[in-house]
Structure 1
Amino acid sequence: MPLDVLCVGAVTVDTIAVVDRAPGPDGRVVATPFTVAGGGPAATAAVTLARLGVPVGFCGVVGDDAEGALSRALLEKAGVDTTWLVTRPGVRTTQSMIVVSREQGTRMIVTTPSPPPPPVPAGVARWLHLDQTGYPAAREHTGAKISLDGGNPVSGLDVTGLDLYAPAVGGLADAFPAATLAESMRAAAAAGAREVVATAGAEGSYVLVDGEVHHVPPITVESPVSTMGAGDVFHGALLAGLVQGRSLVDAARRANAVAALSCRALDGRTGIPDADETERFLSTVDPGVSV
């Protein structure tokens, strides 16, 4: 039986430092003890899908180093099939350094390049979910529906035939310039994207249905710790909803909730809820209401 989803793209090992205030040039600050966690847009989406009960695998490349072994172990612990995660001698596993500022409420990310994933085999999954690293390797893949996380710039973007195109609002405006968000979303659909969802961070998300744009309000949690990886979590949860037969609006609402709950932890994965917790959470709140 094929998987429901194969996520293709970047997997990273993140080192996260929390400081009171980000240092300036030549500055020095003292951080809390560093946190080491798994990351990467496609990899974190895969963890989210697994947490929500969707059979999922990951396709990408790590090095034959300690970080590569950790990346694989973290994915497998989360229930992600790593059959298509290749360990390549001589390659350095992608690493990121993240500095989170309490006072400024911001983060700075320094990352190393991600190696391109191996060719994606046919017939493995009903859906392929791609990030900016996975897009070149799997864009022309046939026989599976294609979901694209447009949260980061995608080189050579062509949305023709994409079953789900989900950029950030800013990225959408860059790719499809228009006077309004609604016009940009309609332009993406006219260019060939079958479903278009735009993410807006703390403002929630926007969904295009039959040419009309619907705002899906945010769902917030008290005392969030970090938004690290929340966009990647949203993309995984959005696709989980579609795989499970939900409408696009309902899938986006649930994705807003799952992404909000993930902000309870410093890293992008620890706070991701499972399906049962998501249902309990949604039963107690209205969209946009803080609990």
Structure 2
Amino acid sequence: VQLTRAGGGPAATAAVTLARLGVPVAFVGAVGDDPAGRSILRALADRGVQVDGLRMVPGARSPESIILVDESDGARAIAAYAGTAGGPSVDRDVERLCRGARWVHLDHIGEPATRVLRRLLGQEGDGTGPRWSLDGGNHIDGLGLAGLDLYGPTCATLLARSASPSLDGALQAAIDEGCGAVVATRGRHGARALVSGERPFSIAGFTLPVISTLGAGDVFHGALLAGLLDGRDLAEAIGRANLAAALSTAALDGRSAIPTRRELDRAWVAQRSEAGTSHEAATVSGSP
């Protein structure tokens, strides 16, 4: 039996991934002023994430989880405590952070707190604001996709919020709702994606030895944004994100095996050489 204590959370782990891949990144959130909260802040800062936007709420308890990982296949069961610190507070400093970013990535905690800010920046219409990405792996009450540049649900959560019985129908429904692109993750099978005005496509995953799948989806989203920030097209960015997520499963926790940019570059070249095909040849159009 292995026992470890580590940081987690969708947006937080995506931020750590961006930092590992050499992207300057800041995290906005809220924790208690308890030992867990101080540990959360320290873990992010130690991995290169700017934490000026992480609010410590006096007297509040920080979110914590107990996670059991199955040795046979790396699957996990999670018992989560949300804490009492609440969501991020969108003040002038946070608004300034968002205005200065190229992308703002949200999870189920950050999305509701930023709705007013997103509408405000969207109404300015001068093209100077950030692009908005959402990790849609968890249910979000009152979620609307209009104004999102990138929506990243799991296939299960995408289908659950759509009237369409087919994955491609659900992808199109999300586009019709107003987002620019949808990338639905399929675990080890990769991802299915659709950009507004184009056809859906699939990018295969990678089969690597697995210790734990904890946080792999969060790593995927961070690496996907890193690829887009590098100027890569969506298909290649998804492929590299699939590989980063697969590499991250080599550790029990969701962070210690996240690759650096150099490690991901080397693994990417090695995987493409082993496959003996171009990345584009691994892109499959039509039904998944």
* Superposed pair shares fold, TM > 0.5: yes
Matched with 1:136 is: 112
CA contact (8 A) 1:164 1:193 kept: yes
3-state secondary structure, aligned to 1:255: helix
Alignment of 1:102 with 2:75, yes or no, is no
Please tell me whether residue 271 in structure 1 is matched to residue 251 in structure 2. Answer: no
- 8 Å CA contact 2:76–2:213 kept in 1: the answer is no
Q: Distance in 2 between matches of 1:280 and 1:202?
A: 20
Determine which of 48, 62, 71 is the counterpart of 1:79: 48
2:52 alignment partner AA: T
TM-score (norm 1): 0.85
CA contact (8 A) 2:216 2:249 kept: yes
- The runs of 5 or more residues in structure 1 that have no matched partner are 1-31
Root-mean-square deviation (CA, aligned residues, Å) is 1.6
* Comparing 185-194 and 123-132, the one that deviates more: 123-132
Structure 2 letter corresponding to 1:138: T
Structure with higher strand content: 1
Query: Aligned partners of 1:33, 1:185: CA distance in 2, in Å?
Result: 39
Q: Distance in 1 between matches of 2:7 and 2:273?
A: 29
Counterpart mapping for 1:240-255 below 5 A: 240-255=226-241
Is 1:44 matched up with 2:13?
yes
Equivalent pairs: percent with the same residue?
46
Offset at residue 105 of structure 1 (A): 4.8
CA displacement at 1:288 relative to structure 2 = 9.9
- Corresponding residue for 1:197? 183
Aligned positions of 1:148-167 closer than 5 A: 148-167=134-153
Mean Cα displacement is larger for which, 272-281 or 137-146?
137-146
Q: Secondary structure at the match of 2:5?
A: strand
Instruction: Describe the superposition over 1:52-77 as per-residue Cα deviations: whole angstroms up to 9, x where unpaired.
Output: 11110000011111111111111111
2:89 counterpart of 1:118: yes
Moved more, 178-187 or 118-127: 118-127
Aligned length in residues: 257
Q: After TM superposition, give the deviation of residue 49 of structure 1 in Å.
A: 0.5
Tell whether the 8 Å contact from 1:167 to 1:198 is kept in structure 2 after alignment. Answer: yes
Distance 1:287 1:134, change over 3 A: farther
Q: Which has the higher helix share?
A: 2
